[in-house]
Amino acid sequence: MNIVKYTIISAIVLLGASLVGCSERLNLREVTTKAISATCEAQSYRISEVATYTLEGESGVSITESEFTAPDRYHDIISSAGGWGEYIFIGDRGFVRDSKDISEWCELPCQYDDPSSGATGMITATATPLDKKLEYLNWLVDLKKLANEEIDGVVCLHYRGRLDVDSYVNMLRNRVVMEYEQFPSDISTWEVNFELWVEKDTHLIRQLKSEEHVMVDNPDTGEKNLFSGSTTKQFYDFNEPINIELPQM
């Protein structure tokens, strides 16, 4: 079974704020619009992400540590039980190394050879701006205000909603992007829910959680299987000094 093939769809859905207000006193549409704008305009930030999934009795966890400094410097470290990978993007240049195929820094695109399987390939990647990663928030519906909570000592507005999957996927399909053409036609079983914690004073997003339950096709057998996943992202170190330099080749 190829877990990677299953998780591609999930990654695209989450990559990854026109909200329906649900309170006479609090316009959640306006709150989220301001939250996306304030967070994306930060000159620097860090994100800690923990993602879990379950599929056909198998479970997995991945942890991603990301940092950004304006205008175009990104650094990501992704780790899971299968190993780790590290990326640095500065302007239009990208660099990668990992625990399996590329032990030393390589400037993208990079060719790799896997001695264990004999497989070869080419790694290409680009940095994804934060506004694109938060784009799905434009398609949240059925919002509900929850009790305010503190995140790292900061009082935050707390609310939840679900993704309008039909509208969101149709938007992606209308784009001239080949990856989105591979979405399965039957998305009626998809369920993706979110919780947001938005700092009251600055409207910065401090925490974002998602849960998804998606029926996906097994590429080997053609059978449908339930993919369940959850992701928690914590945002911190806004506008703090962050140094991201070219790697030592």
Look at the chain and report how many structural domains it folds into.
1
Contacts of 55 (CB under 8 A, 6+ apart): 3, 6, 225, 226, 227, 228
The verdict on residue 87 lying in a domain is: yes
Average pLDDT value for residue range 205-230 = 89
The verdict on residue 245 lying in a domain is: no
pLDDT tens per residue across span 71-116: 999 999 999 988 999 999 999 999 999 998 889 999 999 987 766 6
Look at residue 56 in the predicted model and tell me its pLDDT: 85
Could you count the other beta carbons within 10 Å of the beta carbon of residue 40?
A: 15
Structure tokens at 120: 């070869």
The verdict on residue 248 lying in a domain is: no
Contacts of 84 (CB under 8 A, 6+ apart): 77, 78, 98, 99
The CATH number linked to 7 is 2.50.20.20
- Of 120 and 75, which is predicted with more confidence? 75
The verdict on residue 247 lying in a domain is: no
Give whole-number Cα distances, 105 to 98, 137, 138, in Å.
8, 35, 37
Contacts of 117 (CB under 8 A, 6+ apart): none
- Of 180 and 72, which is predicted with more confidence? 72
The verdict on residue 230 lying in a domain is: yes
Distance CA 78, CA 84 (A): 5
Structure tokens at 101: 């195929």
The verdict on residue 241 lying in a domain is: no
Q: Are 139 and 168 in contact (CB under 8 A)?
A: yes
Residue 102: give the domain boundaries.
3-236
Look at residue 5 in the predicted model and tell me its pLDDT: 37
- Structure confidence at residue 23 as a pLDDT band (50, 70, 90): very low
Look at residue 123 in the predicted model and tell me its pLDDT: 86
Distance CA 141, CA 29 (A): 10
Average pLDDT value for residue range 185-209 = 90
The per-residue pLDDT of the chain, averaged, comes to 84
Look at residue 9 in the predicted model and tell me its pLDDT: 36
pLDDT tens per residue across span 151-174: 999 999 999 999 998 888 888 777
- Amino acid at residue number 124: T
pLDDT tens per residue across span 43-82: 999 999 999 999 888 999 999 999 999 999 999 999 998 8
The verdict on residue 244 lying in a domain is: no
The verdict on residue 242 lying in a domain is: no
Contacts of 178 (CB under 8 A, 6+ apart): none
**Residue 21 pLDDT more than 70?**
no
